[in-house]
Amino acid sequence: MKRNVSFALAFALAAAVTVSLLPAAQAQEVTLRLHQMLPPQAAIPARALTPWIEKVESQSGGRIKVEHYPSMQLGGAPPALYDQARDGVVDLIWTVLGYTPGRFPKSEAFELPFMVTTAEVTSRAFHEYVLANALDEFKDVHPIALHTHGAGLLHVRGSGVHSLADMKGLKIRTPTRVAAGLLKNLGATPVGMPVPSVPESLSKGVIDGVAIPWEVTLPLKISELVDSHTDFSGRHGLYTSTFIFAMNRDSYEQLPADLKKVIDDNSGPEVAALFGRAMDEVDVIGRSVAEKAGNSIITLDDAETARWQEVAEKTKLDWIAEMKGKGIDGAALVEDARRRIEKYSGQ
């Protein structure tokens, strides 16, 4: 009888110890809320964010769960996304750095004219550039990947842009403050507006065209609203925009070491390249849609491209002067950005 009581007591104690350990294990499980502005079928959500989520959940053995909220489902406007990550409103965000003009000045070097090659190459270079030169601009969050889109180009109603002279007086929607300065120097009138407003503005003649990469033409159905698309000779496109995929700093720091490692293993230049590659892939699709629509696709020859590059040099010099006023060596940053882009473009 005593043996049975002792056995029962030992069993109960073992069970109690096991149960007491369960909450500790379960406490390591975490749900992260990811918020961004695009619909789930767009290039980045479908081809970059979703694969990233799947890898993180798989590599964590299911202990990390990521809830993806596209199209600003958790409220606010796209310019608020960075602060939502900073303030812990959400755990993860993906957004455009240019939505808050002037906030990330050193990062703007990549937005200068004729810097970008492919999105994959430029994104890898951009992430490394930020780590080396501009990480202080993101001290309020935990960056996972910093990337760019592919070469931006001009999509215009009417006969299109065949030369620099054709830019005079055109009202062109601009994506960033740096691009606004570029368009002004090229003779156009830059018009700022949210991307969702572009189709209606084009159809009503509020703007004559838009500066965006091929990838963005798909969800906006730009090929149905314009007649021509103007690109440039050589490896470097007219401009690009910069993006960040970031995590709330406290959300990251509170993870146990092994789950931090999962996030770390899915951060960095290779992840930036994944995001860029997604945009490159959909750029190809966007161009093919315009070709099938019978639109005019204009590629300026070397001589005309050189004329644009010469005029665009003022945008770079203006930016360097502005940075000097902030105590930043803009010329050195531009040189470093070019060096990193060329390093990867040559591979």
Residue 231 is given by DSSP the state E
pLDDT tens-digit series, residues 81-125: 999 999 999 999 999 999 999 999 999 999 999 999 999 999 999
Residue ranges covered by each domain of the chain: 30-150+241-281, 153-239+294-345
Q: How is domain 30-150+241-281 classified at the architecture level of CATH?
A: 3-Layer(aba) Sandwich (3.40)
Rounded-to-integer distance, Cα 252 and Cα 275, Å: 21
Residue 179 in tokens = 């691009």
Strands 189-192 and 171-174: parallel
Checking if the pLDDT of 1 tops 90, the result is: no
User: Per-residue pLDDT averaged across 196-216, rounded?
Assistant: 95
DSSP string covering 144-173:
EEEEE-S-BEEEESTT--SSGGGGTT-EEE
Domains 30-150+241-281 and 153-239+294-345 share a fold: yes
Strands across the sheet containing 209-212: 189-192, 171-174, 209-212, 153-156, 228-232, 296-300
Checking if the pLDDT of 8 tops 60, the result is: no
Average pLDDT, the chain: 92
- Half-sphere exposure (Cβ direction) of 281: Cα atoms closer than 13 Å: 12
User: Per-residue pLDDT averaged across 199-217, rounded?
Assistant: 97
pLDDT of residue 346: 80
Checking if the pLDDT of 2 tops 80, the result is: no
Q: How is domain 153-239+294-345 classified at the architecture level of CATH?
A: 3-Layer(aba) Sandwich (3.40)
Identity of residue 314: K
